[in-house]
Amino acid sequence: MANETIMRYQIADYLNTGTGETEAWSLCGAGFNTLDESPAAQINTKTYVSDAAASSTIKSYQPQFPFDTDLMKSEAAIMALYEIGRNQKTGAEAEMDYLRVELFEPVASKENTFKARKFRVAVEVASVAGAGGEAIQVTGNLNNVGTFVDGEFNTATKMFTAAADVEAGN
């Protein structure tokens, strides 16, 4: 099998810009300059009495998704991030659902369906800035809340299905 490099465009990111019970998955595409993933492993290190060197174990993760966008009024995902910072929302009002869809991992026998992870994130808008004659940029981080839900996402219907529901046949 040939060495296949995965390109950034093969990961699709979506924010839930819906209201209340109604989900509306908005693509983080146009206007997003970067949207990265930093798993941020938390390490526990100990040196035992019989060892000269320390031993480390991964005890947890603290994922963060740094973003850098151009403020585009027509893009729902960007405007949702901007409004959180603009209105200085806190607590649950500053949280959203976020999907990372692996377009390089199609689900067998399901058209337009790919492996995905659903995160609850606290939106940290760090900056809304722009020099004269330039586009306004909104930058910050999507900070993980709790444990992600593994599953699959259909890019045509924009429906996420948790892995547990897939296994149960739902």
pLDDT band at 21; cut points 50, 70, 90? confident
What 134-138 contacts at long range (C-beta under 8 Å, 24+ apart), as own/partner pairs, is: 135/70, 135/71, 136/70, 136/71, 137/33, 137/68, 137/69, 137/70, 137/71, 138/67, 138/68, 138/69, 138/71, 138/78, 138/81, 138/82, 138/85
Average pLDDT, the chain: 93
Tell me, yes or no, whether 98 lies in a domain.
yes
pLDDT, greater one: 27 or 19? 27
- Dump pLDDT digits (tens) for 119-154: 999 999 999 999 999 999 999 999 999 999 999 999
Tell me, yes or no, whether 3 lies in a domain.
no
Provide the residue range defining the domain that includes 149.
8-44+55-168
Tell me, yes or no, whether 49 lies in a domain.
no
pLDDT of residue 170: 59
pTM of the predicted structure, to 2 decimals: 0.88
Number of domains into which the chain is organized:
1
Tell me, yes or no, whether 1 lies in a domain.
no
pLDDT of residue 164: 82
pLDDT of residue 1: 54
| Cα gap 120→159, rounded to integer Å | 16
